[in-house]
Amino acid sequence: MDATTGNSPAPVLDHDKKDSASLKADASNDDSASVEVNSAADDVFGGDTIDPVYLAKAHLLNRALQDIGMGRYNWWVFVVTGFGWLADNLWPIVTGLILTPVVNEFVFDGPFLKLAQNIGLLVGAVFWGVGADIWGRRVSFNITLFITGAFALAAGGSPNYVTLCALTAVWSVGVGGNLPVDSAIFLEFVPASHQYLLTVLSIWWAFGQLLGSLVAWPLIGNYSCEVADPPNCPRGDNMGWRYFLFAMGGLMILLWVVRFLFPLYESPKYLMGRGEDEKAVSVIHKVAAFNGKTSTLSIEDLRALGAYGGSDKVATSTRPTALDTIRGHIGKFGGASVRPLFATRKLAWSTSLLIALWAIIGLAFPLYNSFVTYYLATRGATFGDGSVYITYRNQVILSVLGVPGALLAGYMVELPLLGRRGTLSISTLLTGVFILASTSARSSDALLAWNCLYSFFSNMMYGVLYALSPELFPTKERGTGNALTAAANRVFGIMAPIIALYADLTTAVPIYVAGALFLLAGFIALLLPFESRGKASI
């Protein structure tokens, strides 16, 4: 599918159309930094925000990937990075699904579980996201799912709520690292003509919610105490949530094994940004061979464009010690890795708006969605059908609606009149509208109907947001940029359970707050200065 029209494949890009010198000249031109090919290969930023040598080399690598096309390797990357989307939505849903039975058994304030989770997600997003720009994408990619699975399995045997909250925080450190890293990996291997698939990847996000709901329905629905007042729920009568954690933790270990066995190569643009041009070319040829093709890219093509000044490679006559290496990595966590994201006024405005969007949605989404199971149960009880079975049945219905939402988002982001910004704005506004409308429900069926519409459009919203954000960061700082937005999302996510500790969740007040925040985010989306539809990531 063409990234501009969404109908036909983009034409094959010819390496011979421009030699290396003209590529470098293009990158230095104030009027246009893009290689003169179709719009799918134009970069997002223009030429004023990126080092011209880096930009020229990035164009050359983009062209090589476009020549190779969307082949077997790229589709495998779609699958294994999709595991990260699945985990990112599954585990917040997991804590929401086990909340009621856990509170019934351990008798504690439920929001503490969500607070522990969000603290872990924050640490994971920052550590793994920034780390991906320091030691590369592969390390984070190969360990995050293992951390999630191992500590989730341990949490299934928790003897008390303190242990459960602690293990929840640790497994969430693994969960938090998936999206910042996986979105960068996929974007850096996909041809420009298929970048819309970054939005479609959110179908895995919907699958995560659906999978969690489907597994929880029989386990928690059949092996849990009913809501009791006062709580009286011994462990032997409440094993459902433990079975659920064992099942989901085991699934993460299985997905980790698949990832570990997959031959993920380091991102060629990441390697180029570190001055490792020869390795970058080698990766391009490995991808081509995996797809049954060949690439004409050579190390001379990149070297002819000059040396990239931002390289991390520094000549030295002595071999650095392990301590020197550790100190160097720690130093990169400072402002040096953040400043390039604010290098120009326009890029700074874009980065700031993305952070604001993630922060606002980070508060609105968990304030409503993390407690939707509890909210449905209490409202359902008012209507006479608040059983555990009905609660999780409704959760499955809500989850199913996320799948077509993600698919529709993948189509709409390629429409010329909408693009990424328009689709994000519309879906976010409608998410807020239907949250507010849900407060008018006077029956459980009406409440479920409003929540179905909310689920559909919120999955659209997240599909676009997860795709748009990494597209608006340069490869060199993409992990750090993703970490910044994810950190903002998690910091404000931490506020949600704190608010819930002092709010009456049986009233509509949290719903009004969440709906208003989504409406605000919808208008902010229209202010983003860059539209990445039909543009190649750099």
pLDDT band at 531; cut points 50, 70, 90: confident
Q: Compute the distance between CA of residue 224 and CA of residue 239 in angstroms, rounded to an integer.
A: 6
Span 469-518, pLDDT tens digits: 888 887 778 888 888 898 898 888 888 777 766 766 666 677 788 899 99
DSSP bridge partners of 536: 43
Reading the block at residue 355, the tokens are 């952070």
Tell me the one-letter amino acid at 216: A
Average pLDDT, integer, range 18-25 = 42
- Give Cα separations from 414 to 2, 371, 531 (angstroms): 9, 34, 11
Question: Is the pLDDT assigned to residue 313 strictly greater than 80?
Answer: no
The single residue listed with the structure tokens 């391009």 is 284
Reported pTM: 0.77
Q: How far is CA 445 from the centre of its chain?
A: 32
**How many residues in the chain?**
538
Closest by CA to 183, choosing from 88, 57, 311, is: 88
Cβ contact 521:357 at 8 Å: yes
Average pLDDT, integer, range 133-142 = 84
* Angle at CA of residue 255, ends 249 and 261, nearest 5°: 140
Sequence-ordered list of residues with C-beta below 8 angstroms from that of 149, at least 6 positions apart, any chain: 171, 174, 249, 250, 251, 252, 253, 255, 256
Cβ contact 18:35 at 8 Å: yes
Cβ contact 110:374 at 8 Å: yes
Span 56-66, pLDDT tens digits: 888 899 899 99
243 or 373, greater pLDDT:
243
Cβ contact 335:480 at 8 Å: no
Average pLDDT, integer, range 255-276 = 90
Q: Compute the distance between CA of residue 89 and CA of residue 201 in angstroms, rounded to an integer.
A: 12
Tell me the one-letter amino acid at 423: T
Q: What share of the chain is helix, strand, coil (3-state, %, to 5)?
A: 70, 0, 30
* Angle at CA of residue 34, ends 29 and 38, nearest 5°: 145
Cβ contact 486:179 at 8 Å: yes
Question: Is the pLDDT assigned to residue 20 strictly greater than 60?
Answer: no
Cα Rg, the chain, nearest whole Å: 24
Cβ contact 243:214 at 8 Å: no
What backbone torsions phi and psi does residue 43 show, to the nearest 5 degrees? -85, 165
Cβ contact 468:418 at 8 Å: no
Question: Collapsing DSSP states into helix, strand and coil, what is residue 60?
Answer: helix
Q: Compute the distance between CA of residue 60 and CA of residue 57 in angstroms, rounded to an integer.
A: 5
The single residue listed with the structure tokens 């984070």 is 140
Q: Count CB-CB contacts under 10 A for residue 20.
A: 18
Instruction: Give the rounded percent of residues in the chain with a pLDDT score beyond 90.
Output: 29
Q: What is the pLDDT of residue 159?
A: 93
Which own/partner contact pairs does 71-75 have at CB distance under 8 Å and 24+ positions apart?
71/287, 71/290, 71/291, 71/292, 71/293, 72/290, 72/291, 72/292, 73/189, 73/287, 73/290, 73/291, 74/189, 74/190, 74/191, 74/194, 74/287, 74/291
Tell me the one-letter amino acid at 394: N
Q: What is the pLDDT of residue 377?
A: 57
Question: Is the pLDDT assigned to residue 2 strictly greater than 50?
Answer: no
Q: Compute the distance between CA of residue 290 and CA of residue 280 in angstroms, rounded to an integer.
A: 16
Domains and CATH numbers, the chain: 72-264+339-525 (1.20.1250.20)
Q: What is the pLDDT of residue 265?
A: 92
Mean pLDDT of the chain: 79
In sign, the C-alpha dihedral spanning 41, 47, 49, 54 is positive
Cβ contact 23:3 at 8 Å: no
Tell me the one-letter amino acid at 32: S
pLDDT band at 37; cut points 50, 70, 90: very low
Span 434-457, pLDDT tens digits: 988 887 777 777 878 888 898 899
Q: Compute the distance between CA of residue 133 and CA of residue 136 in angstroms, rounded to an integer.
A: 6
Instruction: Give the rounded percent of residues in the chain with a pLDDT score beyond 70.
Output: 78
Q: What is the pLDDT of residue 3?
A: 33
Core vs surface per residue 194-213: b (16+ CB within 10 A) or e: bbbbbbbbbbbbbbbbbbbb
Average pLDDT, integer, range 164-175 = 95
* Angle at CA of residue 458, ends 88 and 482, nearest 5°: 45
Question: Is the pLDDT assigned to residue 111 strictly greater than 60?
Answer: yes
Out of 26-30, 183-187, 260-264, 437-441, least confident range? 26-30
Q: What is the pLDDT of residue 31?
A: 36
Span 317-369, pLDDT tens digits: 344 444 444 444 444 445 566 777 887 888 889 999 999 999 999 889 877 76
Cβ contact 104:225 at 8 Å: yes
Tell me the one-letter amino acid at 389: Y
Q: What is the pLDDT of residue 366?
A: 75
Out of 85-94, 121-130, 372-381, 395-404, least confident range? 372-381
Q: Compute the distance between CA of residue 82 and CA of residue 208 in angstroms, rounded to an integer.
A: 10
Question: Is the pLDDT assigned to residue 379 strictly greater than 70?
Answer: no
Reading the block at residue 44, the tokens are 């997002």
Cβ contact 522:422 at 8 Å: no
In sign, the C-alpha dihedral spanning 14, 19, 24, 25 is negative
